[in-house]
Amino acid sequence: MITLAPLCYCPCPFPASASFTSSTHLKMASSTTSSTSSSGLRNVVNLILDDHRRMERMFSEWDSTADAITKKRLALELIRTISLHGAKEEMSIYPWMKSHLPSSTGDIDHSIEEHATLKKDLAALEQLDPTDANFGATLRKSWQDLKHHIDEEETNVLPKLASKATPTQLNDLAERFENMERLAPSRPHPNAPAEGVGAYLANASAKVFDKVRDAMDDAKLSEEERKSMGTGTRRM
């Protein structure tokens, strides 16, 4: 058994790539964290934080680019990353925390509610073409919701998980979080259950359809990219 190297001198078990605020305990650094400790054990918290930072980078890239095709690609990729991440949490750390850390049930229920709102936002976004005038405003609204959720998760949920779970449990959860990639859908499904056996079944079947739709979107985008080459009409 090992303990994770703390960043600060408080007894929290967060790794050295994290930085902490005085009141809320942590606000993770923007750099990529290492998910493996010196003992070879992995930590699900770091995997989740890596995803959060990746989503932040993707949004800021989307926000700063004027190239229409790049913007479309980034928007699609961001929706996929958010959807996968949320479903993986719902099938790994959330049920584990509810059963092993009953005091966190309120926080987890709140997180699931925020996921549900986000799925609705993203589903609305999917109905718009990225060139639509409302697309940018809708994506920004979704991002604000997600940022709020990330902040709360890093303030209320992850510190509890990191301080209560053993290194072996954090390692097992890291494996579970990654394995759930096989079941997690890459699109928002606001009407699908987020908990219990129903969530696993719904996610597994949705994933099959999502893969097909992703492939079709990618092919369409590649075709648009090919056509736009040399036309100089890629600015939105």
CB of 88 to Fe ion, least distance (A): 9
The residue of the chain with the least Cβ separation from Fe ion equals 153
Burial 84-103 (b: 16+ CB within 10 A, else e): bbbbbbbbbbbbbbbeebee
Burial (0-12, 13-18, 19+ Cβ within 10 Å), 185: buried
C-beta closer to Fe ion: residue 181 or 224: 181
CB of 222 to Fe ion, least distance (A): 30
CB of 38 to Fe ion, least distance (A): 26
Give residue for tokens 């932040």: 56
CA distance 61 to 132: 19
Structure tokens at 216: 């079709």
CA distance 159 to 92: 16
Q: Count of H helices and E strands in the chain?
A: 8, 2
CB of 150 to Fe ion, least distance (A): 6
C-beta closer to Fe ion: residue 153 or 210: 153
For residue 71, which phi and psi values (nearest 5 degrees)? -65, -40
CB of 53 to Fe ion, least distance (A): 11
C-beta closer to Fe ion: residue 151 or 218: 151
C-beta closer to Fe ion: residue 107 or 153: 153
Plot region of 2 (φ>0 → left; ψ -120 to 50 → alpha; else → beta): beta
Which chain residues interact with Fe ion by CB under 5 A?
A: 153
C-beta closer to Fe ion: residue 121 or 153: 153
